[in-house]
Amino acid sequence: MSDENKEVLVTRPRYDRAALRSRIVHLGFGAFHRAHQAVYTDVMLNAIGGDWGHRVVKLKSGAEALQRLAENAYLYTVLKRDSRQGDQARIVGSVIDHRHPETHGREGVVAGLADAGVEIVSLTVTEKGYMLTPGGRLDLDHPEVKADLADQGRPGSAIGVLVAALAERRRQGLKPFTILCCDNLPDNGARTRDAVLAFAGERDADLAAWIEGEGRFPSTMVDRIVPATTPETEARIFDVIGRPDPDGVACEPFRQWVIEDDFVGERPAWDVAGATFTRDVAPFEMMKLRMLNGPHSFLAYLGYLGGFETIADTMADLNYAAAARALMLGEQAASFAAPEGIDLTAYADELIARFTNRAIRHRTWQIAMDGSQKLPQRMLSSLQWHVEHGRPAPLLTLGVAAWIRYVGGIDERGQAIDVRDPMAARLKADGSETPVERVRAVVETSGIFPPRLAGDGAFLDTLSQALGGLIQDGAVRSVAKVAGESKR
């Protein structure tokens, strides 16, 4: 009997869903939240019960999807896929309500956060959703920031909605809610806090002072590979639960959530579901950004250019697998201090096993999105460490060169790349530049390179050479070369 035909374990809510209240509001109800934060709450509720429910919000598209979810009593399927152990399914019941500007109005979205019963507002709006400059500050020139400051009662951005809801809580004499960022930003709690305070300061200095004094912005580290849903995913979920589930998602078995224990009021007992509460998230966050996210981007850009559709396909090439592990342990691990008690070699081995899970079809193109927002924390900060310490970093350098080629918009076969990046138009290549000219143009135009790198002629020359080699040899041969060198 094949794995596809084996009976699949399906876990269902065993708690009283009627007892749940909308105590957590989540901005950015996408696949990751469905497979991560909402699952932690669901597991916790199955273990100990309680009334912690999620109200979910999408600020732009997705109104019809949320209405459809409501018609299905907010139940949806999370399918854990493992090419070695087989599939398991979970019917998640922790979501109980929603808001969307098209159906509730922008004012209704704000009211959904300002509700006195809300304790926590969490976010997965991707790096670009915070509208930060390359230096990590709120971009006051961003069109959405300007629009929200001009129409304070009807904001459309995540930061604008947060501040409007906090202002309403203050007006009602309520305490703030805890803002829990769950995106892959370095020091994500502090970054979110700074953005909120900057926006609030532009609106009302007294409001900003109240948020600064009374609010809380815990940092977090989240980890689970959740590919975009495909027709194959939908078909498999249909096979498992016996009906269509357009809101179902597939993911890997592994999940991790590390949370700074600093909340305004009550918090869920997510540790019952396996989360870690700690005083300092930074070491875990740095480990994940550099050991997982950096190599993931490396594989995405070089894998896409090399003609590989998914990360698992890419890892089937032994040179790519060797390069990914060498990047983790030979370059990234040197650039940070591991959390106490963590064996980085064992962590790298676990990551390699996760990347090779063929049941998870995580497309290289999907991971390659928004690279201008991701590279600073995933690769460039590590490269800066190596430059400052006089150490070569050929794998990191090749990864950045691959990103530069990718955002140029033409692949190795001369085909157009559908580049999804807020800087895509600015970074597109015109086809006439030499590698040296191309590197210097991207460094100058993007503004994402730390000054220590942008002003280092030797580094720029090395990066130009890597780009030139990539153009001449192609991604597969370039990876084979650096993989061979890493074994010496």
Is the per-residue pLDDT at 199 higher than 60? yes
97 and 117, same domain (yes or no): yes
| Among 324, 332, 263, CA closest to 295 | 324
Domain harbouring 393, CATH code: 1.10.1040.10
Question: pLDDT band at residue 134, thresholds of 50, 70 and 90?
Answer: confident
349 and 244, same domain (yes or no): no
Instruction: Summarize pLDDT for 352-405 with one digit per residue, the tens.
Output: 999 999 999 999 999 999 999 999 999 999 999 999 999 999 999 999 999 999
99 and 219, same domain (yes or no): yes
234 and 344, same domain (yes or no): no
342 and 427, same domain (yes or no): yes
Is the per-residue pLDDT at 2 higher than 70? no
Last residue of some domain: 278, 299, 326?
278
Instruction: Summarize pLDDT for 272-302 with one digit per residue, the tens.
Output: 999 999 999 999 999 999 999 999 999 999 9
22: containing domain: 3-278
| Among 197, 101, 116, 119, CA closest to 155 | 101
- Nearby residues of 289 by Cβ (< 8 Å), 6 or more positions away: 184, 186, 377, 378
Q: How far is CA 194 from CA 116, 261, 372, in A?
A: 24, 19, 21
| Among 243, 273, 228, CA closest to 89 | 243
> Given this model, what pLDDT does residue 177 score?
98
262 and 200, same domain (yes or no): yes
| Among 459, 366, 384, 407, CA closest to 30 | 366
Count Cβ atoms below 10 Å from residue 86 Cβ, excluding itself: 16
83 and 205, same domain (yes or no): yes
Instruction: Summarize pLDDT for 31-77 with one digit per residue, the tens.
Output: 999 999 999 999 999 999 999 999 999 999 999 999 999 999 999 99
Conformational region of residue 341, where left means phi above 0, alpha means psi within -120 to 50, and beta covers everything else: left
313-325 mean pLDDT: 98
Q: Which residue has the tokens 């540790």?
A: 271
Last residue of some domain: 278, 301, 317?
278
26 and 72, same domain (yes or no): yes
> Given this model, what pLDDT does residue 1 score?
34
229 and 344, same domain (yes or no): no
Last residue of some domain: 278, 310, 329?
278
Contact present, 117 and 21 (Cβ < 8 Å): yes
Domain count within the chain: 2
249 and 336, same domain (yes or no): no
Is the per-residue pLDDT at 409 higher than 60? yes
What global pTM score does this model have?
0.91
294 and 442, same domain (yes or no): yes
Question: pLDDT band at residue 168, thresholds of 50, 70 and 90?
Answer: very high
335 and 210, same domain (yes or no): no
Domain harbouring 131, CATH code: 3.40.50.720
